[in-house]
Amino acid sequence: MALVLTEEQELLRDSARDFVTNQWDFDWLRKVRGDSDTAGYDPDIYKQIVELGWTAIPFSEEVGGLDLGYAELGVVLEEMGRKLMVTPYLSTVVLGGGAIALGGTADQKAAVLPGVCDGSLLLTLAYQETSRHDPYAVSTAATVDGDGYRISGRKTLVLDVQSANKLVVAARTGGNAGDRDGLTLFLLDAGADGLKVSGGLLLDSRSGGHLTLENVAASAADVVGEVNAGADILDELFSRAAVAASAEMLGGAQDAFDRTVEYLKEREQFGAKIGSFQGLKHRAARWFCEVELLRSIVMDALRAIDEGREDARELACVCKARASDVYQMSGQEGIQMHGGIGMTDEFDIGFYLKRARVSELLLGDSAYHRNQFAEMRGF
């Protein structure tokens, strides 16, 4: 398949770009800093996103979805990433909703996914327990209790945990921390007894927090997928989520580049536009090539998911590794080419570096994904 947008995808991109540009207030990132009472997102913006149908993109028509693909999902995420929009979209649609779509029972899908599509239900995925992405390093224990389970443990870096109505929690029903086997996913209510949330804002003003579970009750009907086989769902989910996150990162890298090029055309030094300086021209040209290469990788990875290609997981690793590197480069080059003013709060360019730092660590950094790719290739 050619790595170009279809006519329908171009219309979706134009609509998304118009909405993000005209409706999203970039200064929201400044307003919420230090605000411990923030909801973590703008409910009015999310309501409009729902009305546009974005939350229904990857889900089947049977549950109220649009039955589109990750190619369309990536178009929307890229535009949201361009202006660093903060919403529970990734946590609800991609992570939580994705887990239910991949492994949920018919009853779970019917109970959860329509609410995701119409915006009445927010989800998130609680899996991480260490300082970095390590899907199998789970110590949270789910012990059998009659016909159900009791879950105890602690999760960290749970996206949008403060606003979530339900959570998909990874717990261990067998094996030891680090083992692939023995993981089980549970669908829990955010208000369940014994479940405590400690929230806050991440470096880039997105919402994240910690989750503590103390003998939280779960029934057999709350199990998502098969007992002890949660890794089968997580492997596919994280592969898809890494590509989705990369699409958002691509948008940020592109906008940081565009902003900087415009600044190079306007800023004068020594009686000339600084964009005319050869050293800056070469750096900008290299930056342009890196962003375009990332775009090709992201588009191919999104289509690999939709087509069910055998190399989809390998491409996901390549995609997230490249996105992490290019976004970091974009944040750093943007600030350096702006000069000292790029470090001030007066200019927006510094927010892109903050988002790049957080995005790199979410769902695995470049080193993690390079290692995963090497293992898949037998190294």
Q: What is the pLDDT of residue 342?
A: 85
CATH number of 68's domain:
1.10.540.10
Note whether 97 and 182 are same-domain residues: no
Note whether 269 and 208 are same-domain residues: no
In the chain, % of residues over pLDDT 70: 99
Q: What is the pLDDT of residue 187?
A: 98
- The number of domains in the chain is 3
Q: What is the pLDDT of residue 343?
A: 84
Note whether 322 and 367 are same-domain residues: yes
Q: What is the pLDDT of residue 276?
A: 77
Note whether 237 and 322 are same-domain residues: yes
What is the DSSP secondary-structure string of 144-170? EETTEEEEEEEEEEEETTTT-SEEEEE
Q: Which residues pair with 301 in a beta bridge?
A: none
CA distance 173 to 187: 15
Q: Burial code of 164-189, b = ≥16 C-beta within 10 A, e = fewer?
A: bbbbbbbbbbeeeeeeeebbbbbbbe
Note whether 305 and 199 are same-domain residues: no
Q: What is the pLDDT of residue 339?
A: 87
Note whether 143 and 203 are same-domain residues: yes
Q: What is the pLDDT of residue 347?
A: 87
Rg over CA atoms, the chain: 21
User: At which of 204, 228, 252 does a domain end?
Assistant: 228
The contacts of residue 179 (CB under 8 Å, 6+ apart) are 136
pLDDT one-digit tens code per residue, 242-282: 999 999 999 999 999 999 999 998 887 787 877 778 888 99
- The overall longest dimension of the chain from CA atoms, in Å, is 80
Domain residue limits at 359:
232-376
287 within domain boundaries:
yes
CA distance 337 to 352: 14
Note whether 182 and 245 are same-domain residues: no
> Which residue type, as a one-letter code, is found at position 99?
A
Note whether 82 and 171 are same-domain residues: no
Note whether 247 and 345 are same-domain residues: yes
2 within domain boundaries:
no
User: At which of 74, 89, 120 does a domain end?
Assistant: 120
Backbone angles phi, psi at 361, to 5 degrees: -80, -25
For the chain, which ranges sit under pLDDT 50?
A: none
